[in-house]
Amino acid sequence: MTDKVRVLSAVILGLLVAAMITRNGDVAWLTLPVLTYLGIGLWQSPDMKVLRLNASRSIKQISQNGQIRVDAAVTVENASTESTAVCIKDTLPEYASQIDGSLMEWAFLRPGDSVDVKYSFTAARGDFVWENIQVTASDPLGVLSVKRVLPARGDIQVRPSFHKFKAIPLRPRSTLHSPGSIPARLGGNGTDFYGVREYHAGDPLRSLDWHQTARHPKKFFTREFEQEEIAEIGLILDARPSVELRVNGESLFEHGVTAAASLAEMFIHQGHRVSLMVFGKHTSIAFPGYGKIQLRRIMNCLSRARVEFDGHSSPHIDFLPIRMFPVRSMIIVISSLTSSDMPLYQRLRASGYQALLISPNPIDFAVTETSGDPYYKLAVRTTRIERRLILNSIAALQVPVIDWNVNQPLFPLVRSALTRSRGQGI
């Protein structure tokens, strides 16, 4: 028995009791419309034992002007032999914003009829999973109703947006012995001329240097080319609550996610071996790998990256497991920094890693208007000086630092920093 049936029954009973107390037949006649309404509802209510409803879901992802739009549709079909009125209600995923359509739909379904619930939403990134949909079946008047949860599974992943960076010629401290694009300062197979040496048994004849051989008739010489290898690159994305900042609904962390995705795509496209660590309350890792499959792993990891606020203090940077990165890797840290982060860069340098810091500037991100208040100006200036002292201390460790205003393109800054770091012996 539903709440509506209880209310109608209480109304009928109350009118009958009132008619008996007042001995007024007119009051008893007032129960007739209510009884008619209740009777029609009970008469046309669907038989829940034979009622069969089927649900299916379709999801489509569309990219428009650099923004991801997801079109979702749920179809509910009446597969029974009785007609029924249905109310279909779907749920919007977390971190999504609805832009079109409706999450609820009413319809009267005859046998074989179906109804669609269609809506669209936007999301910066994330894994979105639906398991079921809620359907309420009732008579046309809504007197008797029953709620059912129908299986309607669907899932989609919205990957983070990234910028296409051009290839940056790297000069890492060490390389992996695998064909790539980085000159290894070693003779072997390559495209650039490296030198001439005496012929060794097994050298291909096409590499013989006939000019040198002509000058020394009793010797043969072979031309060598410089080997080109790949680099080992690790990306660290800081997801601690202490470095997150939101201004007017915009997140500083999302700029870091975009930067990590852009760098991962560029380095993997160049053939390097890339890994990723998202360090926060829950650390997620994409272990070193190559190619499109590795890029998919990294994008999956970035899609699920979140800054989690739970009221507790942020995990300390000392607990960051840097040993997951192979020795002598190039480590790129993306963090807006806190005053206690200095030990991380000391550990990276002491462990033999080549490091680069990309620091989204939280001050430029937050200070959007110039205030005439002298105390406000003094506070901003003091904060800038404090941040500059931290960055200078990190740079003193021979760690290139990019103080990134997120409103400016990142690629020229990364290219300049990597170019300057070549002669630093890091």
For 43-99, the pLDDT digits (tens) are 556 655 667 889 999 999 887 666 788 999 999 998 888 788 888 999 888 878 888
Provide the pLDDT for residue 183.
47
CATH 3.40.50.410 fits 232-424, yes or no: yes
pLDDT in tens, 126-184: 888 999 999 887 766 666 677 888 899 999 888 888 888 888 877 666 655 454 454 44
The torsion angle over the Cα atoms of residues 360, 366, 368 and 373, rounded to 10 degrees, is -130
pLDDT in tens, 392-407: 999 999 899 999 999 9
The Cα–Cα gap between 392 and 176 comes to 31
Q: Assign a CATH topology to domain 53-158.
A: Immunoglobulin-like (2.60.40)
For 128-137, 215-224, 311-320, 415-424, which range has the lowest pLDDT when averaged over its residues?
415-424
The Cα–Cα gap between 334 and 276 comes to 11
Residue 218 pLDDT > 80, yes or no?
A: no
pLDDT in tens, 177-203: 454 454 445 445 555 555 667 777 777
Q: What average pLDDT does the segment 287-308 reach?
A: 90
Provide the pLDDT for residue 424.
45
Amino acid at 405: N
Provide the pLDDT for residue 299.
93
Task: Tell me the pLDDT of the chain averaged across its residues.
Answer: 81
What pTM was estimated for this model as a whole? 0.73
Provide the pLDDT for residue 186.
46
Pairing between β-strand 401-404 and β-strand 354-360 as defined by DSSP bridges: parallel
